[in-house]
Amino acid sequence: MNAPAEAAFQRCIDPACGATYALSEVRTVCGQCGELLDVAYDWNRQTVPQKLSAFERKYATRRYPLHYSGVWRFKELLNIAPDDKVLTIGEGQTQLRPEPEVARYVGLHAKEVFLQYEGLNPSGSFKDNGMSAAFTHARTVGAHRAACASTGNTSSSLAAYAAASAALGPDQRMEAVVFVGSGRIALGKLSQGLDYGAKTVQIMGRFDDAMKRVQEVTKALGIYLVNSVNPFRLEGQKTIMYRVLEALEWDVPDWIVVPGGNLGNSSAFGKAFQELKALGLIPRLPRLAVVVARGADTLQRLYNEQGLRWNGGKYDKDLVKKFYAQMDKEKREANTIASAIEINRPVNLPKCLRALEWMNGVVLSCSDQEILDAKAIVGRGGLGCEPASAAGVAGLKRLVADGVISKGERVVCIVTGHHLKASDVTVGYHSLHGEDFKHEFARYDGVTTNKLANYPVQVKNDLNEILRVLGEGAHGSWDA
């Protein structure tokens, strides 16, 4: 099949199919073979800088919203729409920080471990990177309603962008519809969707049920779907890696460690680096570690136990089908305290397999106990995270212990979501004692202790009592 004459288009990820579609076609899968789609570029018809450092020049013109945005500053690498269609709310003002305490915890040198804090996005998670790109595409095709199924953060982000579109005037307004599983969504996330005015549909079921329904509903009603099956979202999420490189003065780190849910991020990261390499802008790709929760470990089982590989696009689809059939038969449902990655049917599985091949990747799962302890360590750095985001750090600790990652390697963990998204979990971890803690957290995977808790000190409303408590070992619990 011939590539269309455009400088950017959509293309089936299966190289054996390779069907292409114009950017203006709204679809989530290939019409020929049913596989996922990529956004692809004819790089000869794009103006890409010869050196990545050229992007730094845009700092000088930060008053222009597209140069302020941490996504659209890199527009030459995701040129999916004219500038006047871009919808930005200042996403991507995030930072890469060395975290010595995390480095100590995982057993690496203090200056080798970096956290990329994506919780600093406007809606508090990395999802804004992708949502800005998806909304931009939606505007080019004249959509007026956008929907998603969400474990929480996608809905927060969708609602935030929909609110921003309304501010552009009634003809530009995009209505937001979010589908969430009942009772599973973190309150911080639900509150955002409600506050920003999204139509919120609570389905009696889990995320995987909501995901299936939203695909049916958007198809039936012609609503624009912004889940990460949407290839344009992943284009926005590529920029997380550009910013990591930028913060490292364009040096490629040795490892990228990322929590895996629907596997959009890991897929986007692989694509980002693969393209940069093909363009001659980086000398090599970093390695990739995708960390899933043990209670939602489809990728881990398929990749490590069943040996599923991308295999140049010829991955074993029957194996995947059989796996899901067995999962349904056993009525196995995802269950983890890391609600943002509580997903048993990751929609981007094939793309993630491809990223793992490109980046010589590894996959592992961590228990909720490991995730919660890692979260407490991340919090000590002063920019905390929600539980799912700490999975990367928990995974890194294990990879160091297992000798997969060693001292001298430079590692970047992607911290995907803001601390305040699930503050109930944090407060529970730091304030419940003994049996109360066990009772409250028993329904999660393997959680028995909160050994890193920083307990609040209970004291009578009495000056002498307070002075006594602060004078003595009030910091006693810290290093316990």
Q: List residues binding ligand PLP (CB under 6 A).
A: 125, 127, 153, 228, 259-265, 340-341, 386, 388-389, 416-417
Helix (H) or strand (E) holding 471: helix 463-471
* Closest approach of ligand PLP to the CB of residue 188, in Å: 11
* Closest approach of Zn ion to the CB of residue 153, in Å: 30
Residue 389 or 450: which CB sits closer to ligand PLP? 389
Q: At what angle do helices 434-441 and 423-431 cross, to 10 degrees?
A: 150
Contact 114, 224 (CB under 8 A): no
Phi, psi of 356 (to 5 degrees): -65, -35
CA distance 190 to 456: 27
CA distance 411 to 391: 14
Residue 411 token pair? 């590692």
Residue 242, CA distances (Å) to 147, 271, 272, 298, 389 in order: 28, 12, 8, 29, 19
* Closest approach of ligand PLP to the CB of residue 386, in Å: 5
Residue 152 or 253: which CB sits closer to ligand PLP? 152
389 binds, among Zn ion, ligand PLP, none (CB under 5 to 8 A by kind): ligand PLP
Residue 286 or 417: which CB sits closer to ligand PLP? 417
* Closest approach of Zn ion to the CB of residue 232, in Å: 18
125 binds, among ligand PLP, Zn ion, none (CB under 5 to 8 A by kind): ligand PLP
* Closest approach of ligand PLP to the CB of residue 217, in Å: 20
Q: What is the DSSP letter of 337?
A: S
- Mark 291-312 as b/e (b = at least 16 C-beta within 10 Å): bbbbbbbbbbebbeeeebebee
Residue 231 or 260: which CB sits closer to ligand PLP? 260
Angular region, 249: left φ>0, alpha ψ -120 to 50, beta rest: left
* Helix, strand, or coil (residue 187): helix
Contact 118, 95 (CB under 8 A): no
335 binds, among ligand PLP, Zn ion, none (CB under 5 to 8 A by kind): none
Q: In what order do the strands lie in the sheet with 362-366?
A: 95-98, 113-117, 411-415, 255-259, 287-293, 362-366
263 binds, among Zn ion, ligand PLP, none (CB under 5 to 8 A by kind): ligand PLP
Residue 146 or 353: which CB sits closer to Zn ion? 353
Closest CA to 212 of 37, 345, 338, 59: 345
Contact 137, 23 (CB under 8 A): yes
Residue 137 or 421: which CB sits closer to ligand PLP? 421
Residue 88 or 389: which CB sits closer to ligand PLP? 389
Residue 182 token pair? 């009942």
Residue 331 token pair? 């009525």
* Closest approach of ligand PLP to the CB of residue 204, in Å: 22
* Closest approach of ligand PLP to the CB of residue 416, in Å: 3
Contact 29, 37 (CB under 8 A): yes
* Closest approach of ligand PLP to the CB of residue 99, in Å: 17
Residues lying near Zn ion in the complex (CB under 5 A)? 12, 14, 17, 19, 30, 32-33, 35
32 binds, among Zn ion, ligand PLP, none (CB under 5 to 8 A by kind): Zn ion
* Closest approach of ligand PLP to the CB of residue 271, in Å: 13
Could you tell me the sign of the dihedral formed by the alpha carbons of 313, 315, 317, 321, in that order?
negative
30 binds, among ligand PLP, Zn ion, none (CB under 5 to 8 A by kind): Zn ion
* Closest approach of ligand PLP to the CB of residue 102, in Å: 17
CA distance 38 to 228: 11
Residue 193 or 417: which CB sits closer to ligand PLP? 417
265 binds, among ligand PLP, Zn ion, none (CB under 5 to 8 A by kind): ligand PLP
Contact 60, 32 (CB under 8 A): no
Residue 21 or 126: which CB sits closer to Zn ion? 21
Residue 127 or 206: which CB sits closer to ligand PLP? 127
Residue 403 token pair? 């000798």
275 binds, among ligand PLP, Zn ion, none (CB under 5 to 8 A by kind): none
17 binds, among Zn ion, ligand PLP, none (CB under 5 to 8 A by kind): Zn ion
Residue 338, CA distances (Å) to 249, 295, 297, 417, 432 in order: 32, 9, 12, 11, 19
Residue 48 or 422: which CB sits closer to ligand PLP? 422
* Closest approach of ligand PLP to the CB of residue 148, in Å: 11
153 binds, among ligand PLP, Zn ion, none (CB under 5 to 8 A by kind): ligand PLP
264 binds, among ligand PLP, Zn ion, none (CB under 5 to 8 A by kind): ligand PLP
